[in-house]
Amino acid sequence: MKRSWMDDTFTLLHDDHGITEDQLEFIYEWISGNYTWQENEKQYYPSMSSSMIGKPRVKPGFFLIQVPIPESLGTVPCGLHGPTVGICEGVLDPETGERVWPFDEPVPESEVTYEVRFSEGDERTWASRVCDRPFRPYSFVQVIGVRGEGEWLLYTIYGGPPAPQNPKDPSCKDVPASERFWSEHALSAQATKADPDSIMGIMGKIKGLSDQIKGAK
Distance CA 37, CA 47 (A): 9
> Taking the domains of the chain in order of start, what are their residue ranges?
2-215
In Å, what is the CA distance from 163 to each residue of 53, 60, 73? 31, 23, 24
Query: Is the model's pTM score more than 0.85?
Result: no
| Other residues' Cβ atoms within 10 Å of the Cβ of residue 68 | 15
Render each residue's pLDDT in the chain as its tens digit; 217 residues: 565 555 678 888 876 678 999 999 889 888 887 766 555 555 655 554 444 445 788 888 999 999 989 888 999 999 999 998 876 555 566 777 765 667 889 999 999 999 987 655 556 788 999 999 999 888 899 999 999 888 899 988 989 888 888 999 888 889 999 999 999 999 998 754 445 555 545 544 554 554 554 454 4
